[in-house]
Amino acid sequence: MPNFMNNTSPRPYGWPAFALLVLLGLSAPYAIAATSDPADSSATGAFATEAETILTPYQIYLSEVSPDPRDIAGPYEEDLVHQTVIEFYEARNHQPAWIKDGKLQPNAQDLLDTLPYAPTEGLRTEDYRPEELAKLLDAFRASRPTETDIMAMDYALSQTYFVVAAHMTRGRVDTSSVRLPWYSTPRPMPSHEVLHTALNRRRVPQSLGELAPDRKEYQDLKKNLERYRNLAAGGGWVEVPGGPTLRPDKSPDSLRVATMEKRLHQEGFLSAVAGDGVLSESLQEAVKRFQESRGLLVDGQAGRVSIEEMNVSVEDRIQQIEMNMERWRWMPEDFGERHLRVNIPAFKLELWDGGDAPDTTIRVVVGRKKWETPVFSDSMRYVVVNPYWRVPSTVAGKTILTKILEDSTYLASSNFEIFTDWGRDAEKVDPATVDWESISATDFPYKLVQRPGPSNALGSVKFLFPNKFAIYLHDTPSSSAFKRWTRGYSHGCVRVEDPMRLAEFAFAADTLMTPEKFSKAVKSRRHRTFTLPEPVPVHLIYFTVEEQDGEVRFYRDIYRVDRDLARAIEKRRPLPKSE
């Protein structure tokens, strides 16, 4: 189980007692009012006296304190954390949790000593202002705390705990921080009972560590984050000069070859450096390993793209890992024992049937720029053979219209029909009667349907998991795109290289639908829809770093999600508090 580490080094005392209130932003008049004698009601009258008999001083404090007195919570978690803290104190009858008989308990120091280890989880220590918290603890220890001091200090510790807990569980920003449509349900905010248990057992560091996503994918990233930080501490790696493709049959520049050899050795793709500037077989194999680790074309030749990937700094790779750890906090805890997983930037579909690795991996084509494939989860329920393609209006206007204008026979040769609308009583339109030159690409007035056949854009099979995006998986009549290392070419739906293997997986629970029977249905050219006996969970995800077969893989951020997320996290960085 992942743990924050614990360190219990002593800290010096010495801050004046009033510093606690100053740092927490509480005014002196408020402090006096909160600690005045409850029996003295001459200034406030009978109503105030009655209220004081009902509300404890801590209840009054919680009703008036700022939700974020230390300025460590962002807008995403501030209200949620404050509500959890209130529930925490309500459950313990508004009694201090970190302080007993006016003295801080060891749990308080444990929390402070835990914060420097936040980076092991891809978080930033400075977001929690540990230096300020240390001053607050020192000031408290050096003082004779009033009731208000105790309340303020206890609240500050609880709020700090739950801010870290929220970041560990749900992330520091929400899914709206990226432009890619991202629809996933993050894990719930930890219950106040988590802190109760941690305090009672003195397990504050461990309890925070246990809030990290309990997934192998996350733990793999955490392990590689440590590895790449160690590489950065050792100086990172050299930059390979640009130039012509480095290949053995072109007498490559020996200086560039030697630099590339050193670069690959520094990241562990070569066990030793010859230093002779020769593009040897072992060096070519190292290039291939590197290319595979970046999702590139694996040919052993170091061209422009391979060199660009080699020259991505170790610091950028560290941030890339951190952003992927952050996004795993947005994902549901369980994808299901048996499920499909499309990792968009990796251009692959994985068929999972339990275990820690997929049973089958299939190449896919995903949405191009401005037609991005969204992130969401649903359940596959239907498989359609020899499907009709009902062309989305945006695709008809921006893509099909251009082809019609270039070739007046395009609709007929491609097996399209035209209708006035999508209704059952829609009228069929003769394309020869349409003035296509006058049609607007942004306001296409007709509905296009492509009949089943060899030219159908959906191929022979369509896999449906009904959703508001009208996204599905499907076959394709064109297989050339699957041979490319980058495969963002569709209008948002996911094209599958091996639909028959996917169908076999989808129908695994159907003893009557054998692969032979399904193949026969496809070859019949007859349009049919089959209902799956058991829905299959489908997850469209976006992760640019993963571990595969024990090796880390970095993929290009095709939709700039890593960039958007890093900027959003940077914007929520707390500003330095004014003195």
- Are residue 165 and residue 72 in the same domain, yes or no? yes
- Are residue 67 and residue 201 in the same domain, yes or no? yes
Which residues, other chains included, contact 304 with Cβ-Cβ below 8 Å and sequence gap of 6+?
242, 245
* Domain assignment present for 512: yes
Set 265, 339, 493, 539: catalytic member: 493
- Are residue 356 and residue 469 in the same domain, yes or no? yes
Residue 366 CA to residue 346 CA, distance in Å, equals 10
Q: 264, 243, 196, 291: which is closest to 553 by C-alpha?
A: 291
Q: Give me the percent of the chain exceeding a pLDDT of 90.
A: 79
Residue 283 CA to residue 236 CA, distance in Å, equals 20
Residue 33 CA to residue 44 CA, distance in Å, equals 11
* Domain assignment present for 287: yes
DSSP 242: P
Active-site residue, 493 included: yes
185: pLDDT confidence band, cut at 50, 70 and 90?
confident
What is the full DSSP assignment across 295-361?
A: T---SS-B-HHHHHHHTS-HHHHHHHHHHHHHHHTTS-S---SEEEEEEGGGTEEEEEESSSS-SEE
Secondary structure of 118-165 in the HEC alphabet?
HHHHCCCHHHHCHHHHHHHHHHHHCCCCCHHHHHHHHHHHHHHHHHHH
Instruction: For residue 540, give the H/E element and its range.
Output: strand 528-541
* Domain assignment present for 228: no
* Domain assignment present for 40: yes
- Are residue 75 and residue 116 in the same domain, yes or no? yes
Is the distance from CB of 58 to CB of 148 less than 8 angstroms? no
Which tokens belong to 295? 């999702």
DSSP 482: G
* Domain assignment present for 421: yes
Task: Tell me the average pLDDT across 346-369.
Answer: 96
Is the distance from CB of 278 to CB of 254 less than 8 angstroms? yes
Task: Tell me the average pLDDT across 197-218.
Answer: 97
- Are residue 25 and residue 128 in the same domain, yes or no? yes
* Domain assignment present for 571: no
* Domain assignment present for 574: no
Residue 53's pLDDT is 53
- Are residue 439 and residue 307 in the same domain, yes or no? no
- Are residue 174 and residue 308 in the same domain, yes or no? no
Is the distance from CB of 156 to CB of 24 less than 8 angstroms? yes
Residue 449 CA to residue 8 CA, distance in Å, equals 70
Which tokens belong to 349? 């579909």
Q: 109, 85, 141: which is closest to 8 by C-alpha?
A: 109
Task: Tell me the average pLDDT across 483-510.
Answer: 96
Is the distance from CB of 149 to CB of 23 less than 8 angstroms? no
* Domain assignment present for 221: no
- Are residue 196 and residue 118 in the same domain, yes or no? yes
Q: Give me the percent of the chain exceeding a pLDDT of 70.
A: 89
pLDDT tens across 435-473, in order?
Answer: 999 999 888 999 999 999 999 999 999 999 999 999 999
> The whole model's pTM is what?
0.88
Residue 40 CA to residue 47 CA, distance in Å, equals 12
Secondary structure of 192-239 in the HEC alphabet?
HHHHHHHHHHCCHHHHHHCCCCCCHHHHHHHHHHHHHHHHHHCCCCCC
Which tokens belong to 434? 């349409």
DSSP 375: B
1: pLDDT confidence band, cut at 50, 70 and 90?
very low
Which tokens belong to 327? 């996004």
Is the distance from CB of 82 to CB of 159 less than 8 angstroms? yes
pLDDT tens across 50-71, in order?
Answer: 444 567 778 888 888 888 888 8
Residue 283 CA to residue 215 CA, distance in Å, equals 35
Strand pairing category for 461-464 and 473-474: antiparallel
Specify the range with the lowest mean pLDDT, choosing from 40-54, 69-83, 254-268, 443-457: 40-54
Active-site residue, 539 included: no
- Which residues span the domain enclosing 285? 237-312
- Are residue 425 and residue 346 in the same domain, yes or no? no
The alpha carbon of residue 304 and the mean position of all alpha carbons in its chain are separated, in whole angstroms, by 29
Residue 309 CA to residue 387 CA, distance in Å, equals 40
Set 82, 192, 339, 474: catalytic member: 474
Mean predicted lDDT score pLDDT of the chain: 89
573: pLDDT confidence band, cut at 50, 70 and 90?
low
Residue 467's pLDDT is 95
Instruction: For residue 529, give the H/E element and its range.
Output: strand 528-541
Task: Tell me the average pLDDT across 3-30.
Answer: 41
How many domains would you assign to the chain? 4
Residue 58's pLDDT is 80
Strand, helix or coil for residue 413? helix
- Are residue 243 and residue 126 in the same domain, yes or no? no
First to last CA, the chain: 40
